[in-house]
């Protein structure tokens, strides 16, 4: 008998993958969590019926959350990750020598626990001496830590359940206050095919708070439509002003210095959304 996992990405569209084994399927205090082994994408983390990450394509998302922001800020010593309990963004941050401290705040400790067990290549940096891991509410952490971080990265699920507060103007204002005077942040902002209204609302809200706002994109096959956007808000530094020839080559699979500015060149229909 064949078993298949299907994510309904809209009411009339989804993706499906053949399942070899189910490692975990439980209701945590915050969400339904599953770890499954698929034939095409390897181990897959699923939260509330949505694919969060997989062995095969995780590097795209994690690299694009981390490297454009860290290569835009000239001295990113103090970095906060909100969400991201799988550890992939933390792993990429640790490739930057200037980073002295990484704080990871995820509301669901089970995501951290099972990622260490079933996604060890992704969670490999969580035990690094530069990393602090807190099981807590990221919204409240930001509220309680003013003027502390150089870079904040929001690695959240879609705006449902515990992540709903992470897509509000109040949250972006809190991020602004938690950043130092030349700080910047980046957040995943979903896809333009099915969530155009979300991208527009986030862009509008961030522009009300930050003087520099840029949208960029990457291809993540297991995310809805495959075309995924990210939004960067900055107090001073513009990612388009970065000298890409000065960006050092690091061990990556998707992001490169040459891709840095290219990722901010948007398809016309996406560009129209954020004008």
Give the domain CATH number at 181.
Answer: 3.40.50.150
241 and 178: one domain? yes
212 and 151: one domain? yes
Q: Are 80 and 184 in contact (CB under 8 A)?
A: no
Expressed as residue numbers, the domain containing 209 is 58-273
Give me the catalytic one of 57, 108, 155, 205.
155
**Which of 54, 79, 97 is the endpoint of a domain?**
54
50 and 128: one domain? no
19: closest CA among 35, 41, 8, 4? 4
109 and 154: one domain? yes
Say if residue 138 carries a ligand binding annotation. Answer: yes
Say if residue 158 carries a ligand binding annotation. Answer: yes
Parallel, antiparallel, or unpaired for β 149-155 and 13-27?
Answer: unpaired
Parallel, antiparallel, or unpaired for β 179-188 and 227-234?
Answer: antiparallel
214: closest CA among 241, 193, 254, 245? 241
For the beta carbon of residue 37, count every other beta carbon within 10 angstroms. Answer: 16
Residues contacting 256, CB < 8 A, separation 6+? 249
113 and 167: one domain? yes
**In the chain, how many domains are there?**
2
**What pLDDT score was predicted for residue 166?**
59
49 and 97: one domain? no
Say if residue 201 carries a ligand binding annotation. Answer: no
Could you please report the per-residue DSSP string of 100-118? -EEEEEES-HHHHHHHHHH
62 and 50: one domain? no
**What pLDDT score was predicted for residue 241?**
98
76 and 129: one domain? yes
**What pLDDT score was predicted for residue 157?**
63
**What pLDDT score was predicted for residue 168?**
80
94 and 230: one domain? yes
Say if residue 170 carries a ligand binding annotation. Answer: no
Taken in order 252, 188, 73, 93, the sign of the CA dihedral is: negative
**Which of 54, 73, 94 is the endpoint of a domain?**
54
Please state the pTM of the whole predicted model: 0.95
Q: What phi, psi does 203 have (nearest 5°)?
A: -60, -40
For residue 17, the domain's CATH number is 2.30.140.10
Q: Are 66 and 93 in contact (CB under 8 A)?
A: yes
Q: What phi, psi does 11 have (nearest 5°)?
A: -65, -20
How many Å apart are CA 105 and CA 94, to the nearest integer? Answer: 16
165: closest CA among 181, 187, 192? 187
**What pLDDT score was predicted for residue 28?**
97
How many Å apart are CA 271 and CA 164, to the nearest integer? Answer: 25
**What pLDDT score was predicted for residue 160?**
52
208 and 149: one domain? yes
**Does the annotation mark 150 as catalytic?**
no
Helix (H, G, I), strand (E, B) or coil at 90: helix
Say if residue 32 carries a ligand binding annotation. Answer: no
**What pLDDT score was predicted for residue 170?**
86
Pull the structure tokens for residue 170. Answer: 């109040």
Q: Going residue by residue through the chain (275 aa), what tens digit of pLDDT does each one get?
A: 789 999 998 899 999 999 999 999 999 999 999 999 999 999 999 999 999 999 999 999 999 999 999 999 999 999 999 999 999 999 999 999 999 999 999 999 999 999 999 999 999 999 999 999 999 999 899 999 999 999 999 998 665 555 555 568 889 999 999 999 999 999 999 999 999 999 999 999 999 999 999 999 999 999 999 999 999 999 999 999 999 999 999 999 999 999 999 999 999 999 999 98
**What pLDDT score was predicted for residue 165?**
59
113 and 165: one domain? yes
**Which of 54, 74, 94 is the endpoint of a domain?**
54
Taken in order 124, 125, 128, 134, the sign of the CA dihedral is: negative
132 and 12: one domain? no
């Amino acid at each position: 008998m064949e078993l298949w996992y299907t994510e309904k990405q809209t009411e009339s569209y989804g993706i499906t993958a053949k399942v070899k084994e189910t490692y975990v399927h439980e209701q945590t205090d915050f969400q339904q969590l599953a770890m499954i082994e698929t034939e095409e994408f390897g181990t897959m983390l699923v939260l509330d019926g949505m694919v969060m990450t997989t062995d095969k394509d995780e590097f795209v998302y994690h690299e694009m959350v981390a490297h454009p922001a860290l290569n835009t800020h000239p001295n990113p010593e103090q970095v906060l990750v909100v969400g991201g309990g799988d550890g992939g963004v933390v792993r990429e941050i640790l490739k930057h020598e200037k980073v002295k401290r990484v704080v990871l705040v995820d509301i669901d400790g089970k995501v951290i626990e099972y990622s260490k067990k079933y996604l060890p290549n992704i969670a490999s940096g969580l035990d690094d001496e530069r990393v602090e891991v807190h099981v807590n509410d990221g919204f409240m952490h930001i509220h309680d830590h003013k003027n502390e971080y150089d870079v904040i990265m929001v690695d959240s699920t879609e705006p449902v359940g515990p992540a709903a507060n992470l897509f509000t103007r109040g949250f972006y204002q809190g991020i602004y206050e938690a950043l130092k005077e030349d700080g910047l942040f980046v957040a995943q902002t979903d896809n333009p095919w099915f969530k155009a209204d979300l991208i527009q609302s986030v862009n509008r809200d961030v522009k009300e708070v930050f003087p520099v706002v840029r949208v960029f994109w990457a291809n993540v096959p297991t995310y809805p439509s495959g075309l995924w956007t990210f939004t960067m808000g900055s107090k001073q530094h513009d990612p388009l002003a970065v000298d890409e020839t000065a960006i050092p080559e690091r061990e990556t699979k998707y992001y490169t210095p040459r891709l840095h500015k290219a990722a901010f060149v948007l398809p016309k229909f996406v560009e129209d959304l954020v004008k």
